[in-house]
């Protein structure tokens, strides 16, 4: 049997309300020559029956049933079952643009790269209603500078672009994953996606970007467990360590400053997660104080390497690091400006300059 050009893996766990939609959107893409691998991760609802029915109707659909072990273990099983030249992951609760697959396959084959990625729109949902939206990468992707190492380029991207974090907005070369026996880390409940992508980027030579929002990530605030995990600062420390390991031994001064910027960037993300969490204000400040006690912020980097705006942000946090309440209230004010119509435009301009 001829191998498909693309293998698409979707882990499924109790997704009877949404799984039919994403499957239909995949099968409805204007492209042939792909296989859709659905991994039932021990669902207790009608998901297994829905998957089996799709497999009966369409020979491109392959279904595998396993005991519950989490999305990482389900994706790993899917990787073992793939036959395609390229590999793609989707999530059961999300959505894709009708042209996503054909555009991304066209990009990775025409430019002969190892990995292609597109922009993501995050829908934050509460009580079945979208209450806010965020584009992970509203700006065109940074380009690799002449004579810049690929490692330096990737770390620079991690600190400015949200496209590298998620596996579901990408297509990978399957042989790189198989040859290097790359897998998702089972048991890691925060940042496992970035860890997998960094493992892939270690063996990657060239990546390409599509500056279009082709993937829609539906983040259910009531059901998503990663929201709770994001409030545990140790999880971010583990993720930061993967970036340090990716950079390798004896990084240059520029690379060290870029790595430190990632810490500041994620620290701000942690404080923002606290500010928008259901925790009491007292508990939020307590957790922020704890984070600063176990992980001191490094001295601000050189503006030559990270830019004036990033350095300014680092200086502010570094000065305020001994006064968690001031950091907390500063981020509260910034977040208010971001969500207020009167200040939203100014905020976007400032954020755009910060992440250049």
What's residue 276's pLDDT? Answer: 81
pLDDT-derived band of residue 332, with 50, 70 and 90 as boundaries?
A: confident
- Give the pLDDT mean for 239-255: 94
The domains located in the chain, with CATH, are 1-225 (3.90.550.10), 230-356 (no CATH)
The phi, psi pair for 258, rounded to 5°, reads -65, -40
When comparing pLDDT for 137 and 263, which is higher? 263
What's residue 98's pLDDT? Answer: 92
What's residue 346's pLDDT? Answer: 46
pLDDT-derived band of residue 77, with 50, 70 and 90 as boundaries?
A: very high
Sign of CA dihedral 92, 98, 99, 105: positive
- Alpha-carbon separation of residue 56 from 53, 60, 91 (angstroms): 5, 10, 21
Average pLDDT score over the chain: 89
What's residue 223's pLDDT? Answer: 62
- Percentage of the chain lying above the pLDDT 70 cut: 92
User: Which two three-digit tokens encode residue 337?
Assistant: 């400006």
What's residue 129's pLDDT? Answer: 82
Q: What is the CA radius of gyration of the chain?
A: 21
What's residue 42's pLDDT? Answer: 96
Does the pLDDT value for residue 113 go beyond 70?
A: yes
Does the pLDDT value for residue 281 go beyond 70?
A: yes
- Give the pLDDT mean for 78-102: 95
Query: What does the pLDDT look like over 28-60, one tens digit per residue?
Result: 988 889 999 999 999 999 999 999 999 999 999
Does the pLDDT value for residue 331 go beyond 80?
A: yes
Global pTM value: 0.88
What's residue 345's pLDDT? Answer: 47
Alpha-carbon gap, residue 77 to 41, rounded angstroms: 10
User: Is 11 within 8 Å of 39 (Cβ atoms)?
Assistant: yes
pLDDT-derived band of residue 343, with 50, 70 and 90 as boundaries?
A: very low
Does the pLDDT value for residue 347 go beyond 50?
A: no
pLDDT-derived band of residue 334, with 50, 70 and 90 as boundaries?
A: confident
Return the number of other C-beta atoms located less than 10 Å from residue 317's C-beta: 20
Question: What are the residue ranges of helices labelled H in the chain?
Answer: 19-27, 47-57, 71-81, 100-110, 150-158, 174-179, 192-202, 226-229, 233-247, 253-275, 281-294, 303-306, 308-320, 324-339, 341-354
What's residue 226's pLDDT? Answer: 54
């Amino acid at each position: 049997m001829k191998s498909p050009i693309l293998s698409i893996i979707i882990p499924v766990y109790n997704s009877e309300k949404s799984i039919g939609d994403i499957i239909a959107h995949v099968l409805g893409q204007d492209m042939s020559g792909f296989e859709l691998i659905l991994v039932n991760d021990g669902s207790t609802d009608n998901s297994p029956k829905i998957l089996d029915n799709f497999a009966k109707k369409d020979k491109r659909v392959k279904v595998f049933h396993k005991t519950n072990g989490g999305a990482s273990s389900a994706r790993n099983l899917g990787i073992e079952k793939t036959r395609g030249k390229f590999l793609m992951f989707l999530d059961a609760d999300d959505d894709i643009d009708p042209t996503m697959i054909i555009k991304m396959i066209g990009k990775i084959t025409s430019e002969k790269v190892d990995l292609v990625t597109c922009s993501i729109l995050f829908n934050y949902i509460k009580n079945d209603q979208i209450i806010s939206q965020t584009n992970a990468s509203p700006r065109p992707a940074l380009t690799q500078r002449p004579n810049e190492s690929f490692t330096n380029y990737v770390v620079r991207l991690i600190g400015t672009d949200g496209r590298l974090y998620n596996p579901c907005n990408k297509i990978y070369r399957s042989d790189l994953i198989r040859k290097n026996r790359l897998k998702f880390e089972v048991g890691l409940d925060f940042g496992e996606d970035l860890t997998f992508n960094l493992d892939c980027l270690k063996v990657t030579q060239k990546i390409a970007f599509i500056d279009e929002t082709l993937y829609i990530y539906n983040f259910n605030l009531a059901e998503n467990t990663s929201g709770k995990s994001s409030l545990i600062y140790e999880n971010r420390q583990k993720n930061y360590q993967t970036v340090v390991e990716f950079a390798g031994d004896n990084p240059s001064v520029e690379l060290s400053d870029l790595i430190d910027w990632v810490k500041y960037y994620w620290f701000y993300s942690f404080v923002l997660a606290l500010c928008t969490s259901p925790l009491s204000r007292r508990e939020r400040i307590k957790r922020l104080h704890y984070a600063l006690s176990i992980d001191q912020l490094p001295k601000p980097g050189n503006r030559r390497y990270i830019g004036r705006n990033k350095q300014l942000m680092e200086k502010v946090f570094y000065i305020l690091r001994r006064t968690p309440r001031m950091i907390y209230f500063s981020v509260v004010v910034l977040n208010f400006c971001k969500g207020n119509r009167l200040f939203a435009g100014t905020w976007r301009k400032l954020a755009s300059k910060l992440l250049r």
